[in-house]
Amino acid sequence: MTKGRLEAFSDGVIAIIITITILLIDLPDGDDMQALMGIMPLVGCYLISFILVGTNWVNHHHLLQVARQVDGRILWANLGYLFILSFMPVGTGWVGRSQFAMLPVRVYVIINLASALSYFLLEKAIIRASGSETLKAAVDESNKELWTFVVEGMALAASFVQGIHYVSCPLLVVAMAPWIVPDLRMKRVFEDAQRSHGQKRERNEKP
Protein backbone atom coordinates (compact mmCIF):
# COMPACT_ATOMS: atom_id res chain seq x y z
CA MET A 1 0.00 0.00 0.00
CA THR A 2 2.71 2.43 1.00
CA LYS A 3 4.60 1.26 -2.06
CA GLY A 4 1.60 2.00 -4.27
CA ARG A 5 1.47 5.57 -3.02
CA LEU A 6 5.23 5.99 -3.48
CA GLU A 7 4.87 4.82 -7.07
CA ALA A 8 1.92 7.11 -7.70
CA PHE A 9 3.74 10.10 -6.22
CA SER A 10 6.93 9.37 -8.20
CA ASP A 11 4.93 8.92 -11.40
CA GLY A 12 3.20 12.23 -10.76
CA VAL A 13 6.47 14.08 -10.22
CA ILE A 14 8.15 12.46 -13.24
CA ALA A 15 5.09 13.16 -15.43
CA ILE A 16 5.25 16.82 -14.40
CA ILE A 17 9.04 16.99 -14.94
CA ILE A 18 8.72 15.48 -18.41
CA THR A 19 5.91 17.85 -19.37
CA ILE A 20 6.83 21.23 -17.92
CA THR A 21 10.04 21.28 -19.91
CA ILE A 22 7.82 22.29 -22.81
CA LEU A 23 6.94 25.47 -20.88
CA LEU A 24 10.59 26.51 -21.05
CA ILE A 25 10.46 26.52 -24.85
CA ASP A 26 9.80 30.16 -25.68
CA LEU A 27 7.20 30.80 -28.32
CA PRO A 28 8.95 31.70 -31.59
CA ASP A 29 9.62 35.43 -31.68
CA GLY A 30 7.71 36.21 -34.88
CA ASP A 31 5.64 34.31 -37.46
CA ASP A 32 8.30 33.38 -39.98
CA MET A 33 10.63 30.47 -40.59
CA GLN A 34 13.60 32.27 -39.01
CA ALA A 35 11.71 32.61 -35.72
CA LEU A 36 10.83 28.93 -35.87
CA MET A 37 14.44 27.95 -36.54
CA GLY A 38 15.43 30.04 -33.51
CA ILE A 39 13.75 27.60 -31.12
CA MET A 40 15.04 24.46 -32.87
CA PRO A 41 18.07 24.02 -30.56
CA LEU A 42 15.63 24.01 -27.65
CA VAL A 43 13.38 21.50 -29.40
CA GLY A 44 16.39 19.28 -30.05
CA CYS A 45 17.46 19.45 -26.43
CA TYR A 46 13.86 18.79 -25.34
CA LEU A 47 13.86 15.61 -27.44
CA ILE A 48 17.05 14.43 -25.70
CA SER A 49 15.61 15.24 -22.27
CA PHE A 50 12.36 13.48 -23.09
CA ILE A 51 14.27 10.31 -24.02
CA LEU A 52 16.45 10.55 -20.89
CA VAL A 53 13.60 11.22 -18.45
CA GLY A 54 11.42 8.64 -20.22
CA THR A 55 14.17 6.02 -19.82
CA ASN A 56 14.51 6.99 -16.18
CA TRP A 57 10.79 6.53 -15.66
CA VAL A 58 10.68 3.11 -17.31
CA ASN A 59 13.57 1.82 -15.19
CA HIS A 60 12.41 3.44 -11.96
CA HIS A 61 9.13 1.64 -12.53
CA HIS A 62 10.88 -1.74 -12.79
CA LEU A 63 13.14 -1.04 -9.85
CA LEU A 64 10.25 -0.23 -7.51
CA GLN A 65 8.51 -3.45 -8.48
CA VAL A 66 11.34 -5.35 -6.84
CA ALA A 67 11.02 -3.50 -3.54
CA ARG A 68 8.94 -5.51 -1.13
CA GLN A 69 8.35 -2.75 1.39
CA VAL A 70 9.34 0.85 1.72
CA ASP A 71 11.44 2.09 4.63
CA GLY A 72 12.60 5.63 5.46
CA ARG A 73 15.88 5.13 3.58
CA ILE A 74 14.13 4.19 0.34
CA LEU A 75 11.65 7.04 0.78
CA TRP A 76 14.42 9.62 1.01
CA ALA A 77 16.66 8.01 -1.60
CA ASN A 78 13.66 8.26 -3.90
CA LEU A 79 13.00 11.91 -3.00
CA GLY A 80 16.68 12.68 -3.61
CA TYR A 81 16.44 11.02 -7.00
CA LEU A 82 13.36 13.07 -7.89
CA PHE A 83 15.10 16.24 -6.67
CA ILE A 84 18.01 15.70 -9.06
CA LEU A 85 15.69 14.77 -11.91
CA SER A 86 13.68 17.96 -11.37
CA PHE A 87 16.64 20.00 -12.64
CA MET A 88 16.20 18.52 -16.12
CA PRO A 89 13.73 21.22 -17.29
CA VAL A 90 15.98 24.11 -16.21
CA GLY A 91 19.04 22.35 -17.62
CA THR A 92 17.25 21.74 -20.91
CA GLY A 93 16.09 25.33 -21.12
CA TRP A 94 19.57 26.70 -20.47
CA VAL A 95 21.27 24.42 -23.02
CA GLY A 96 18.63 25.19 -25.64
CA ARG A 97 18.59 28.96 -25.20
CA SER A 98 22.37 29.20 -25.16
CA GLN A 99 22.42 27.20 -28.41
CA PHE A 100 24.48 24.40 -26.82
CA ALA A 101 27.15 26.66 -25.25
CA MET A 102 29.89 24.92 -23.27
CA LEU A 103 29.00 25.69 -19.64
CA PRO A 104 25.26 24.93 -20.00
CA VAL A 105 26.11 21.63 -21.70
CA ARG A 106 28.55 20.80 -18.89
CA VAL A 107 25.94 21.54 -16.22
CA TYR A 108 23.41 19.43 -18.13
CA VAL A 109 25.83 16.50 -18.20
CA ILE A 110 26.45 16.92 -14.47
CA ILE A 111 22.69 16.82 -13.78
CA ASN A 112 22.55 13.52 -15.67
CA LEU A 113 25.57 12.12 -13.84
CA ALA A 114 24.03 13.09 -10.51
CA SER A 115 20.72 11.49 -11.45
CA ALA A 116 22.51 8.26 -12.44
CA LEU A 117 24.33 8.34 -9.11
CA SER A 118 21.15 8.92 -7.11
CA TYR A 119 19.46 6.10 -9.04
CA PHE A 120 22.37 3.89 -8.04
CA LEU A 121 21.89 4.86 -4.37
CA LEU A 122 18.17 4.09 -4.61
CA GLU A 123 19.06 0.69 -6.08
CA LYS A 124 21.36 0.06 -3.12
CA ALA A 125 18.69 1.10 -0.61
CA ILE A 126 16.21 -1.30 -2.20
CA ILE A 127 18.74 -4.17 -2.24
CA ARG A 128 19.44 -3.50 1.44
CA ALA A 129 15.75 -3.44 2.40
CA SER A 130 14.77 -6.52 0.43
CA GLY A 131 17.86 -8.44 1.45
CA SER A 132 17.67 -10.11 -1.95
CA GLU A 133 20.90 -11.89 -2.83
CA THR A 134 19.68 -12.41 -6.40
CA LEU A 135 19.12 -8.70 -6.93
CA LYS A 136 22.53 -7.89 -5.48
CA ALA A 137 24.19 -10.48 -7.70
CA ALA A 138 22.26 -9.30 -10.76
CA VAL A 139 23.33 -5.69 -10.23
CA ASP A 140 26.92 -6.69 -9.46
CA GLU A 141 27.41 -9.04 -12.41
CA SER A 142 25.96 -6.75 -15.08
CA ASN A 143 27.77 -3.62 -16.12
CA LYS A 144 24.94 -1.36 -17.20
CA GLU A 145 25.73 1.07 -14.39
CA LEU A 146 29.41 0.98 -15.29
CA TRP A 147 28.65 1.69 -18.97
CA THR A 148 26.47 4.64 -18.01
CA PHE A 149 29.04 6.16 -15.69
CA VAL A 150 31.90 5.71 -18.19
CA VAL A 151 30.02 7.17 -21.16
CA GLU A 152 28.62 10.03 -19.08
CA GLY A 153 32.17 10.66 -17.85
CA MET A 154 33.24 10.90 -21.50
CA ALA A 155 30.37 13.32 -22.13
CA LEU A 156 31.63 15.41 -19.22
CA ALA A 157 35.18 15.38 -20.57
CA ALA A 158 33.92 16.34 -24.05
CA SER A 159 32.06 19.30 -22.58
CA PHE A 160 35.41 20.86 -21.66
CA VAL A 161 36.71 20.97 -25.24
CA GLN A 162 35.33 23.75 -27.46
CA GLY A 163 33.80 22.24 -30.59
CA ILE A 164 33.88 18.68 -29.29
CA HIS A 165 31.35 19.71 -26.65
CA TYR A 166 28.52 19.36 -29.19
CA VAL A 167 28.96 15.59 -28.83
CA SER A 168 28.12 15.64 -25.12
CA CYS A 169 24.32 15.66 -25.35
CA PRO A 170 24.08 12.86 -27.92
CA LEU A 171 26.58 10.91 -25.78
CA LEU A 172 24.13 11.06 -22.90
CA VAL A 173 21.59 9.16 -24.99
CA VAL A 174 24.30 6.60 -25.79
CA ALA A 175 25.02 6.32 -22.06
CA MET A 176 21.39 5.46 -21.39
CA ALA A 177 21.05 3.13 -24.41
CA PRO A 178 21.29 -0.14 -22.44
CA TRP A 179 18.41 1.07 -20.23
CA ILE A 180 16.04 1.93 -23.06
CA VAL A 181 14.95 -1.68 -23.21
CA PRO A 182 13.31 -2.19 -19.80
CA ASP A 183 15.65 -3.74 -17.28
CA LEU A 184 15.29 -7.52 -17.64
CA ARG A 185 17.46 -8.19 -14.59
CA MET A 186 14.66 -6.72 -12.47
CA LYS A 187 12.09 -8.97 -14.10
CA ARG A 188 14.23 -12.02 -13.38
CA VAL A 189 14.76 -10.96 -9.77
CA PHE A 190 11.07 -10.30 -9.39
CA GLU A 191 10.12 -13.75 -10.62
CA ASP A 192 12.84 -15.27 -8.50
CA ALA A 193 11.54 -13.49 -5.41
CA GLN A 194 8.05 -14.75 -6.04
CA ARG A 195 9.31 -18.29 -6.48
CA SER A 196 11.40 -18.25 -3.30
CA HIS A 197 8.49 -16.64 -1.47
CA GLY A 198 6.32 -19.54 -2.61
CA GLN A 199 8.90 -22.08 -1.40
CA LYS A 200 9.17 -20.42 1.99
CA ARG A 201 5.40 -20.50 2.34
CA GLU A 202 5.41 -24.17 1.37
CA ARG A 203 8.05 -24.94 3.94
CA ASN A 204 6.05 -23.12 6.62
CA GLU A 205 2.92 -24.99 5.75
CA LYS A 206 4.63 -28.34 6.13
CA PRO A 207 3.82 -29.89 9.47
- According to CB under 8 A, which residues from 137 to 166 bind its own copies? none
> Would you say 43 and 25 are in contact if contact means Cβ atoms under 8 Å apart?
yes
CB of 92 to its own copies, least distance (A): 10
State in Å, rounded, how far the first CA of the chain is from the last one. Answer: 32
Which CB atom, from 44 or from 136, has the smaller least distance to its own copies? 44
Among 3, 38, 41, 98, binds its own copies (CB under 8 A): 98
Sign of CA dihedral 13, 15, 18, 20: negative
* Distance (Å, whole) CA 113 – CA 84: 10
d(CA 119, CA 63): 10
Cβ distance to its own copies smaller for residue 150 or 180: 180
Determine which residue in the list 38, 41, 102, 192 makes contact with its own copies, applying CB under 8 A.
Answer: 102
Residues between 3 and 62 with contacts to its own copies, criterion CB under 8 A: 5, 7-9, 11-20, 22-25, 27-28, 31-33, 36, 47, 50, 54, 57-58, 61
- CA 127 from chain centre, in angstroms, equals 18
Give the whole-angstrom CA distance, residue 1 versus residue 141: 31
Residues in Cβ contact with 129 at an 8 Å cutoff, skipping those fewer than 6 apart: 67, 68, 69, 70, 71, 73, 74
Does position 174 interact with its own copies (CB under 8 A)? The reply is no
Residue 8 or 137 with smaller CB distance to its own copies: 8
Binding site for its own copies (CB under 8 A): 1-2, 5, 7-9, 11-20, 22-25, 27-28, 31-33, 36, 47, 50, 54, 57-58, 61, 65, 72, 75-76, 79, 82-83, 86-87, 89-90, 93-94, 97-98, 101-104, 107, 180-182
